[in-house]
Amino acid sequence: MEDLWRLPGAELAGLIRSKKVSAREAASAALARLDAVNPKVNAVVDHRPEEVLAQAALIDAAIARGEDAGPLAGVPVTVKANIDQKGFATTNGLKLQRDVIAATNSPVVDNLRKAGAVILGRTNCPAFSYRWFTTNLIHGDTKNPRDPGITPGGSSGGAGAAVASGIGHIAHGTDIAGSIRYPAYACGVHGLRPTVGRIAAYNASLPERAIGPQISAVSGPLARTIGDLRIALAAMSAHDVRDPWWVPAPLEGPASPKRAALCLEPDGLKTASEVKAAVADAGKRLERSGWTVEEIATTPPLREAADLQTKLWLGDGYEAQLAAAEREGDPGALACLRGNRAKVFPFDAAAFSRVLTRRATLAREWSQFLETYSVLVMPVSAELPFPDGLDMRDEASFTRVWQAQLTQIAIPFMGLPGLTVSTGLVGRIPVGVQVVSGRYREDLCLLAGEAIEAGGTPSAPIDPVSK
């Protein structure tokens, strides 16, 4: 049973609940896989094997007593190094936070544990979780297991690389401008950015978040199957009183017609031919599974939403963010802030008011659009996953990266859910599509995602490629 790490999490949980496999066996297989491949990808930057096995022992003991061990019974999962896990440093990729040791778990960690998951390790992210690339001065570079020459994505690049290489069955990530959706895309797995308010978030070890992240940043799962995303979402979205934004929305909404909009170049995005082909193919997969698919020329505003989201994300407290980045000395973080300065600074009270006022209008337009269509299928990025470090080459490359990520940056501004579905490879470079639906309609994203997934080759863990 040493290949247990290959199984979907849902299947593994079933085996553990039925006592065909023990949680300890699953944890031991996961730890062995981590030891075998993590040195090549540097996805997990902190883990304690003895604690992993202790968590597994609690699951086995509960099952032995005849108790319900939960939907994720014994499933090894990873969590990103920017959320609190008791006894571990919440580094967020920063030397500045190497001594920020959490005294309590974040709601996400608590909810995963309550669902029976075993926390396997903590995954890497860029400094401040700013970039679509994953490197920092405290933990080093994370490599894409499919091709070390391309980015593993960011900011949850460690999460994407871990899931793709079989380190854990499900990974936790966070997303304020694509940080779940892009690593899933770059690493050839699936990733769900839930609606704002769906999953409770709070880090007691750090100062309260500014209003921009409060109303647009989320936690969510990455996995190799849509089915695993579904059970992870249910587990992670349990109630926690510590997050005042949490909403008790049902996981399944009213029945909706299987009607999808397909847009190859949303809001004028200059999309690469390989990406357009992937979106068109996803549309055909939906049609074959009974969906009505309508290709549309454009969508409600994305470019404006992306610009406003950038202001809300980086402009809110810009000077304090820049000062912290200068103290850290991380080149990527400084490039991100300095490269966007003209777009986001100054951000005074009047500008802040204008952004939030406009947010209501754009959110309404998108809600109305997503009443007509159950889902929108469009690119995750205008390009295939970037060469690693592209944003640091020169000013033109920095601009190219930010322009290509239009559809990722925009969706959080309206608080909408977005799902990356991996659809295949171009050579050995992953490609996929983004599925968007109305607020709290992750169920529709997942329904469409399952149809797209079923029409192709399932994602499976891979051995990291060296060159």
Active site (catalytic) residues = 80, 155, 179
Closest CA to 150 of 379, 331, 389: 389
Please tell me the distance from the alpha carbon of residue 362 to that of residue 307, in angstroms, as a whole number.
12
State the DSSP H helix or E strand holding residue 58, giving kind and residue range, or none if neither: helix 49-64
Q: Which tokens belong to 345?
A: 């600074």
User: How far, CA to CA in Å, does 77 sit from each of 47, 291, 361, 442?
Assistant: 12, 33, 38, 21
DSSP type of residue 256: -
Determine contact, residues 42/139, Cβ cutoff 8 Å.
Answer: yes
- CB neighbours of residue 394 within 10 Å: 10
Cα–Cα distance, 107 to 263 (Å, whole number): 36
Task: DSSP letter for 39, please.
Answer: H
In 156-308, DSSP assigns E strands to 170-175, 190-193, 218-223, 259-262, 292-295
Q: Which pair of structure tokens corresponds to residue 40? A: 């090549």
How many Å apart are CA 247 and CA 238, to the nearest integer? 10
**CA 240, 241, 246: angle at the middle one, nearest 5?**
70
37 CB contacts (<8 Å, ≥6 apart)?
145, 165, 166, 167, 463, 464
What pairs with residue 294 in β-bridges?
261
